[in-house]
Amino acid sequence: MKFYIATDHAGYHYKEQVKEYVRSKGHEIVDLGPDSPERVDYPDYGRKCAEAVRDDPGSFGIVICGTGIGISMAANKVPGIRAALCHDAYTATMARAHNDAQILAFGERVVGMGVVQSMIDAFIETPFEGGRHERRVEKIDAIDAEYRK
């Protein structure tokens, strides 16, 4: 699998550990910044990751801010992107199985690295179930399409 990762300053300190973990599982991960812990604005980086995932079909993303809330909100503004704010392996599993999320979001101030690793494992290992969930995911995209008119 190919991942893109972006954070703000409050998620920056987990970035290297997350990259190392994803690579240790045999997957590719591209760092979209930031390159230092200087203060930055989470919408810029949520958007950056979401656009990279949108432009590279089949890829996935990881976004991290203090809570995961702001950066996931920003990522979800990019049409077609489903960024899931997760807190544990269960929510990360369901984000893939039911919501076909392409982006895993979480908060560095909320979850420890052990939980982060379990979420990444769940996200990587869980396929989208399709079936009745397909129609619901299509309805999410239909909202984007309707408001773009």
Task: Kindly state whether residue 43 participates in binding ligand RB5, applying the rule CB under 6 A.
Answer: no
Q: Would you put residue 42 in left (φ > 0), alpha (ψ -120 to 50) or beta?
A: alpha
Beta carbon nearer to ligand RB5, 76 or 93: 76
Task: Kindly state whether residue 85 participates in binding ligand RB5, applying the rule CB under 6 A.
Answer: no
* Helix (H/G/I), strand (E/B), else coil: 37: coil
Picking from 73, 76, 63, 68, the residue whose alpha carbon sits closest to that of residue 30 is 63
Residue 49 annotated as catalytic: no
Residue 98 annotated as catalytic: yes
Task: Kindly state whether residue 117 participates in binding ligand RB5, applying the rule CB under 6 A.
Answer: no
| CA 50/CA 52 separation, integer angstroms | 5
State which of residues 70, 96, 100, 111 lies at the interface with ligand RB5 (CB under 6 A): 70
The dihedral built from the CA positions of residue 11, 61, 40 and 143, taken in this order, carries a sign that is negative
**Min CB(58)–ligand RB5 separation in Å:** 28
Tokens 């392996």 belong to residue: 89
Task: Kindly state whether residue 99 participates in binding ligand RB5, applying the rule CB under 6 A.
Answer: no
Task: Kindly state whether residue 42 participates in binding ligand RB5, applying the rule CB under 6 A.
Answer: yes
Beta carbon nearer to ligand RB5, 24 or 36: 36
Task: Kindly state whether residue 65 participates in binding ligand RB5, applying the rule CB under 6 A.
Answer: yes
The dihedral built from the CA positions of residue 122, 128, 129 and 132, taken in this order, carries a sign that is positive
What is the binding site for ligand RB5 (CB under 6 A)?
Answer: 8, 10, 42, 65-67, 69-70
